[in-house]
Chains A and B, each alone.
Chain A
Amino acid sequence: MSFPEPARSYGAPGVEFMGLHRENNAVTQIHLLPGQCQLVTLLDDNSLHLWSLKVKGGASELQEDESFTLRGPPGAAPSATQITVVLPHSLCKLLYLGTESGNVFVVQLPAFRALEDRTISSDAVLQRLPEEARHRRVFEMVEALQEHPRDPNQILIGYSRGLVVIWDLQGSRVLYHFLSSQQLENIWWQRDGRLLVSCHSDGSYCQWPVSSDAQQPEPLRSLVPYGPFPCKAITKILWLTTRQGLPFTIFQGGMPRASYGDRHCISVIHDGQQTAFDFTSRVIDFTVLTEADPAAAFDDPYALVVLAEEELVVIDLQTAGWPPVQLPYLASLHCSAITCSHHVSNIPLKLWERIIAAGSQQNAHFSTMEWPIDGGTSLTPAPPQRDLLLTGHEDGTVRFWDASGVCLRLLYKLSTVRVFLTDTDPNENLSAQGEDEWPPLRKVGSFDPYSDDPRLGIQKIFLCKYSGYLAVAGTAGQVLVLELNDEAAEQAVEQVEADLLQDQEGYRWKGHERLAARSGPVRFEPGFQPFVLVQCQPPAVVTSLALHSEWRLVAFGTSHGFGLFDHQQRRQVFVKCTLHPSDQLALEGPLSRVKSLKKSLRQSFRRMRRSRVSSRKRRPAGTPGEVQEGSAKTERPGLQNMELAPVQRKIEARSAEDSFTGFVRTLYFADTYLRDSSRHCPSLWAGTNGGTIYAFSLRVPPAERRMDEPVRAEQAKEIQLMHRAPVVGILVLDGHSVPLPEPLEVAHDLSKSPDMQGSHQLLVVSEEQFKVFTLPKVSAKLKLKLTALEGSRVRRVSVAHFGSRRAEDYGEHHLAVLTNLGDIQVVSLPLLKPQVRYSCIRREDVSGIASCVFTKYGQGFYLISPSEFERFSLSTKWLVEPRCLVDSAETKNHRPGNGAGPKKVPSRARNSGTQSDGEEKQPGLVMERALLSDERVLKEIQSTLEGDRGSLNWHSHRAAMGRSLSNGGAE
């Protein structure tokens, strides 16, 4: 289960590149080559890869140039050439490679030519050491390689047993050596080259002066910052000078082993202040953004960039209190697991601004610092419209993301938790520690996978972009209706129970209890504020949700039935039980799945037993004495085969008695001809897992009497699809076969009024078939039997508007379909002709397929890992892709003062000389172990498309889509 590994680089917002390795190996290190627009990656198979950013057609692309695997002399142990450290030298395009054997190999770029005569073997170092330091044991693997900050002819080699030497490259001699008593973890060379700081496995760090006066056997200073009890190793340390005089000491790890050994901390010490930033996931690497000018006397650090396993965190080191910087990209989507998503295209500016305003009040604790990483220039034109992606999370929050452009940016976070009484009161938060707590831990980052109560999880979201009404529904049958309010407010939430079982008797819900709501007024911050809470009974997970903001109605469905709520009058209109009496599973709730687990266990045991029996039979069958047994076996050759095949599938038609047939999959509001062809009326449509469609005609009082008369509903139709596949989509087409507009769309002049002259049609999409029926008299008109023909099933379906690239005002509506095989198809409306099909998501990637959302304009998103959305486009017109430029070393010289002031230079001052040439590149990549070295993330990552087509081919691929689409008439 491994896939080609992408290497990604990020700069200024909108600047990003992705390159995909051909090999299926994890990336363990990434190094930028100073001033070359190139980077080198090290994979876990010990291969090195050279990538470069090449300008093509005005935009930069990341391409792999060369790859190389270091080989030792024949017969050498593999560890002899196992690379532990890579040092790109500032001169001559050389790479110094430290290995497990203690030897340092040298290769020349770009061809990875090994320069064997320059190898710095541990034997050579040993010979050149003074007598008293010559112990064989001081070597072992190379832990650190550094170039002298000012003199490219000196490099520092640190060996794991504690020996550090400064090596003169020209004279091939040891200039200085330092011997520590502790195992070496890493080393830092101060900007002026006069001081070394080494960190060690016992949690200590030592300062060593570099001076030719005398070889000092002892360090200047040795310190265990979190002593005196045993501490974990300090794995990396930075010692940064400032103009004010007092240095910044920043190190990773070193926490007291017994009490805080499990924390992932980076400590910052400066001017009497000390903070241990406490991350919720393992720290992979960190770096500090400093003064870039190599001639400058001081480092003057201004931002700490930390790559943790689950997120990127940037901390402002210039502002007092060291606040975090809000991320413009790479925000942790999965800070609590994503449970659902909802996309709203083309948000009106007014709503957009109000959401941003509400969000900005939540971000008060962030630093005001501009995003410090600003490499490259984004050439992507400004997005043509404002799109929102809403993600629902396990902890009961909904996050609003700006999905208009390349980067997902968090705008606003809504929490539904305050409506309910939960076990952990947010006021009892223990994170606020006293002043004199030691170590001075401070939680940073947003990744927090632990949910207080899984019932809070958000399952369905529906936002009306015109009215600002939002409906969210969750795991314990809760449905909240919220309204956007720019002011904080203290209000009581009206609570209503919807008994979906009604008079059905003898049922016992064995699942979770419903959530307990807070009584009395609750204070809500500016933003979306709930005013109605409907709780379904039994409190099964809400499986479908629809909001009609014009009629002020919200419809919700669970595995037991569905209901309609009037949120204007705050009154339940009706509930309908869809349960089949024999459906025990739905009745008992999620707990009863334990039973089926038991059953499957039993079955697998039986299978094991059977196969054991048959294998016992097989053995004597070969002996000549057992003729009878043998002949019996040849008569049934199938038995043996059957036992070997562990998987078999039952072929059986679906029946009304199947489980979860009553599960409401889709709800849809439409103003159409439900009863007769002379009068249209509001209607509510519901589709179930068992292929049943219910249609209710609604009577909504006119606006002036809206509060006086009740909304009435009456069941008008019930359609049973005989193939009984789950209904995943219901849609009404108007007289011109155009899907009916969204509520309020016409009122806001954003859509033509639907044609009410011609006859309407009903489109029902089940997992297996697409069917068009006439209205109001239901007769079958057209169908497309997808599953019978292809064996694929519909997982997601959505109407997409395909705009023409040539004619501004021309476009057509068609269906965008995602199947269980991960294919994306376009099916034409109204004739239901399949137009194009593309592989998009790996068919095994069930969570990726389940997470897919389509936009209204032929794009879509799906999760390629728990933390990353991939965006795809079926539209020739609407394409969102990064298009950016990074100046190469040559062009760089033309823009010395252009935007990139010395303070903003993101590259760390680890390289002297030509370092400024590299400043425009992506500092995230300076880190030695990138995000992608994380095993878990890696496993989830896959190529965007089938095979190993990288993002670079994506463009041409979409062009192909465009051509095919034009056959469908979308030009």
Chain B
Amino acid sequence: MNRSHRHGAGSGCLGTMEVKSKFGAEFRRFSLERSKPGKFEEFYGLLQHVHKIPNVDVLVGYADIHGDLLPINNDDNYHKAVSTANPLLRIFIQKKEEADYSAFGTDTLIKKKNVLTNVLRPDNHRKKPHIVISMPQDFRPVSSIIDVDILPETHRRVRLYKYGTEKPLGFYIRDGSSVRVTPHGLEKVPGIFISRLVPGGLAQSTGLLAVNDEVLEVNGIEVSGKSLDQVTDMMIANSRNLIITVRPANQRNNVVRNSRTSGSSGQSTDNSLLGSPQHIEPSCEPEDEDSDEDDIIIEDNGVPQQIPKAVPNTESLESLTQIELSFESGQNGFIPSNEVSLAPIASGSNTEFETHAPDQKLLEEDGTIITL
């Protein structure tokens, strides 16, 4: 095979592919026919041959397009390696007895090859890698637990992010009663409870809500004294950014969180358990406040556009009534038709938004403290 090695380097585009193999400090270069790579067994033999290590058991790995070190140990991943290599297939060979398994995947940014875990599962001395899953732009949060430090440990405030109609929120609420401590002693009071989670729905997939959790607040507004229909309407009205404060039916999980919060209490203002706050929070903040404000306008049967926000009226800011400015999010707003580009005016309003958003959030939180 190495007979065509010189030639192949120059004509990689003509069906052959250059392979650069490294064992220890030694490199070997050769080429393979891209269309007919053959079987892994043959390739393994070829590697032993070119490196002149015929009886040594080795682990074969290659660098994928992202620069991750991935193993080659069967026909499938061998073919994958060949087909994705461009222009060069870089092979790394380790002796099996001295192999550093943790080398595999350490550079991995996208963890999608379960082959990796298949190979490495038996070995437990692998150092637990720091979880950096992906670039924030590739991911979006579906839920988070917020305000851990300001809520009683028996409560949990869950934020559900609803994007478009891809996944239903998927839960039901019902009337019920709960026992409260009141100035007059224990008292049975009516309450609203989660009655059902739809399999595959957003609520279920978060694992943060469960049947029989008592709903205490919806987006910072207490539900006590409100009817089931009112709470239903409030939740639906907030469905694009629903923040539910519940008293979980299962209080066992609270103990863990309690110890953690007590350690960090007073330090963190946003103790999000999922993901890293500094990555996720900025990207979703505009979404939080006004995700449902991305009304669409079609002018003269043209292309749908998001409605921009007009220059805010300062008068309305002063009032503590229920008036909010309509902050039009420009960055991560839900745009039903994905190809729609943002109106340039939206970026201008974003700066406006960011200056006000924290205030608003604080207000909300203050309200929470009072009500609790």
Q: Which residues of B contact A258 (CB under 8 A)?
A: none
A788/B237 contact (C-beta < 8 A), A720-B295, A722-B294 known: yes
Segment 304-346 of B: residues with Cβ below 8 Å from A: 304, 307-310, 313, 315-316, 319, 321-326, 328, 334, 345
Closest beta carbon of chain B to A480's beta carbon, Å:
33
Contact pattern, A 324-339, Cβ under 8 Å of B = 1, otherwise 0? 0000000000000000
Does A489 reach chain B (CB closer than 8 Å)?
no
Does A783 reach chain B (CB closer than 8 Å)?
yes
A790/B296 contact (C-beta < 8 A), A651-B169, A773-B307, A781-B326 known: no
Segment 197-227 of B: residues with Cβ below 8 Å from A: 203, 211-212, 219, 221, 226-227
A717/B195 contact (C-beta < 8 A), A638-B211, A773-B307 known: no
Q: B195's closest neighbor in chain A, by CB?
A: A648
A780 in contact with B174 (CB, 8 Å): no
What is the predominant secondary structure among interface residues of chain A facing chain B? mixed
C-alpha gap A648/B229 in the complex (Å):
9
What is the predominant secondary structure among interface residues of chain B facing chain A? mixed
Q: B239's closest neighbor in chain A, by CB?
A: A653
C-alpha gap A720/B319 in the complex (Å):
28
Q: Which residues of B contact A715 (CB under 8 A)?
A: 300-301
Does A220 reach chain B (CB closer than 8 Å)?
no
Does A637 reach chain B (CB closer than 8 Å)?
yes
Contact pattern, B 44-71, Cβ under 8 Å of A = 1, otherwise 0? 0000000000000000000000000000
B315 in contact with A831 (CB, 8 Å): yes
A791/B230 contact (C-beta < 8 A), A779-B307, A782-B323 known: yes
Q: Which residues of B contact A786 (CB under 8 A)?
A: 322
Does A834 reach chain B (CB closer than 8 Å)?
yes
Q: Which residues of A contact B345 (CB under 8 A)?
A: 779
A648/B172 contact (C-beta < 8 A), A653-B240, A831-B323 known: yes
Does A114 reach chain B (CB closer than 8 Å)?
no
B230, B294, B295 — which one has the most chain A CB atoms within 10 A of its CB?
A: B295
B310 in contact with A788 (CB, 8 Å): no
Closest beta carbon of chain A to B257's beta carbon, Å:
22
Q: Which residues of A contact B246 (CB under 8 A)?
A: none
Closest beta carbon of chain B to A135's beta carbon, Å:
61
Q: Which residues of B contact A655 (CB under 8 A)?
A: 165
Closest beta carbon of chain A to B312's beta carbon, Å:
8
Segment 617-669 of A: residues with Cβ below 8 Å from B: 637-638, 641-642, 645, 647-657
A719/B239 contact (C-beta < 8 A), A779-B308, A779-B310, A790-B230 known: no
Q: Which residues of A contact B319 (CB under 8 A)?
A: 831, 833
Does A126 reach chain B (CB closer than 8 Å)?
no
A787 in contact with B326 (CB, 8 Å): no
Does A721 reach chain B (CB closer than 8 Å)?
yes
C-alpha gap A910/B282 in the complex (Å):
86
A833 in contact with B321 (CB, 8 Å): yes
Q: B235's closest neighbor in chain A, by CB?
A: A651
A718/B174 contact (C-beta < 8 A), A779-B310, A783-B326 known: no
Does B151 reach chain A (CB closer than 8 Å)?
no
A652/B219 contact (C-beta < 8 A), A720-B296, A834-B322 known: no
Q: B328's closest neighbor in chain A, by CB?
A: A780
Q: Which residues of B contact A782 (CB under 8 A)?
A: 313, 316, 323, 325-326
Does B181 reach chain A (CB closer than 8 Å)?
no
Does A59 reach chain B (CB closer than 8 Å)?
no
Does A768 reach chain B (CB closer than 8 Å)?
yes
| Other-chain contact of B233, A721, A781, A791, A843 (Cβ < 8 Å) | A791
A793 in contact with B233 (CB, 8 Å): yes
B325 in contact with A821 (CB, 8 Å): no
Contact pattern, A 785-797, Cβ under 8 Å of B = 1, otherwise 0? 1111111110000
A649/B228 contact (C-beta < 8 A), A716-B299, A720-B296, A723-B237 known: yes
Q: B170's closest neighbor in chain A, by CB?
A: A652
A651/B173 contact (C-beta < 8 A), A715-B301, A778-B297, A780-B310 known: yes
A787 in contact with B172 (CB, 8 Å): no
Q: Which residues of B contact A793 (CB under 8 A)?
A: 233
C-alpha gap A642/B176 in the complex (Å):
9
Does A455 reach chain B (CB closer than 8 Å)?
no
A785 in contact with B237 (CB, 8 Å): yes
C-alpha gap A790/B313 in the complex (Å):
24
Q: Which residues of A contact B301 (CB under 8 A)?
A: 715
B297 in contact with A788 (CB, 8 Å): no
Does A515 reach chain B (CB closer than 8 Å)?
no
C-alpha gap A786/B171 in the complex (Å):
23
A641, A652, A655, A833 — which one has the most chain B CB atoms within 10 A of its CB?
A: A652
Q: Which residues of A contact B296 (CB under 8 A)?
A: 719-720, 722
Q: B215's closest neighbor in chain A, by CB?
A: A651
Q: Which residues of B contact A721 (CB under 8 A)?
A: 295
Chain A: residues with Cβ within 8 Å of the partner, total of: 55
B239 in contact with A651 (CB, 8 Å): yes
Q: B172's closest neighbor in chain A, by CB?
A: A648
B174, B193, B304, B326 — which one has the most chain A CB atoms within 10 A of its CB?
A: B326
Does A774 reach chain B (CB closer than 8 Å)?
yes
C-alpha gap A586/B193 in the complex (Å):
33
A791 in contact with B234 (CB, 8 Å): yes
Q: Which residues of B contact A820 (CB under 8 A)?
A: 229
A780 in contact with B212 (CB, 8 Å): no
Q: A646's closest neighbor in chain B, by CB?
A: B174
| Other-chain contact of A778, B169, B307, B326 (Cβ < 8 Å) | B307
| Other-chain contact of A722, B168, B211, B240, B299 (Cβ < 8 Å) | B240
Does B41 reach chain A (CB closer than 8 Å)?
no
Closest beta carbon of chain B to A661's beta carbon, Å:
13
Q: Which residues of B contact A784 (CB under 8 A)?
A: 322-324
Q: Which residues of B contact A768 (CB under 8 A)?
A: 233, 237
Q: Which residues of A contact B229 (CB under 8 A)?
A: 649, 791, 820
A785 in contact with B168 (CB, 8 Å): no
Closest beta carbon of chain A to B63's beta carbon, Å:
44
A641 in contact with B232 (CB, 8 Å): no
Q: Which residues of A contact B242 (CB under 8 A)?
A: 651
Q: Which residues of A contact B237 (CB under 8 A)?
A: 723, 725, 768-769, 785, 787-788
A780/B295 contact (C-beta < 8 A), A653-B236, A785-B324 known: yes
Does A771 reach chain B (CB closer than 8 Å)?
yes
C-alpha gap A303/B319 in the complex (Å):
63
Q: Which residues of A contact B240 (CB under 8 A)?
A: 653, 722-723
Closest beta carbon of chain B to A694's beta carbon, Å:
9
Q: Which residues of B contact A654 (CB under 8 A)?
A: 236, 239
Closest beta carbon of chain B to A269's beta carbon, Å:
58
Contact pattern, A 820-848, Cβ under 8 Å of B = 1, otherwise 0? 11000000000111100000000100000
B162 in contact with A717 (CB, 8 Å): no
| Other-chain contact of A781, B174, B297, B310 (Cβ < 8 Å) | B310
A771 in contact with B165 (CB, 8 Å): no
A648, A774, A781, A792 — which one has the most chain B CB atoms within 10 A of its CB?
A: A648
Contact pattern, A 665-679, Cβ under 8 Å of B = 1, otherwise 0? 000000000010000
C-alpha gap A595/B48 in the complex (Å):
72
Q: Which residues of B contact A718 (CB under 8 A)?
A: 297-298
C-alpha gap A843/B233 in the complex (Å):
15
Closest beta carbon of chain A to B214's beta carbon, Å:
11
C-alpha gap A783/B313 in the complex (Å):
11
19 pairs, CB–CB < 8 Å, chain A vs chain B? A648-B173, A651-B242, A652-B170, A653-B165, A716-B299, A719-B297, A719-B298, A720-B298, A722-B295, A723-B240, A778-B297, A779-B309, A784-B324, A786-B322, A790-B221, A791-B233, A792-B230, A793-B233, A831-B313
- Which residues of B are at the interface with A, using a C-beta cutoff of 8 A? 162, 165, 168-176, 193, 195-196, 203, 211-212, 219, 221, 226-240, 242, 249, 292-301, 304, 307-310, 313, 315-316, 319, 321-326, 328, 334, 345
Given A648-B195, A653-B168, 10 more A-B residue pairs with CB atoms under 8 Å apart are A637-B249, A647-B228, A649-B232, A720-B298, A722-B240, A722-B294, A723-B292, A788-B219, A831-B323, A833-B319
* Ranked 10 nearest A-B pairs via Cβ: A791-B230, A653-B239, A787-B237, A638-B212, A649-B232, A718-B298, A648-B174, A780-B326, A791-B234, A779-B310
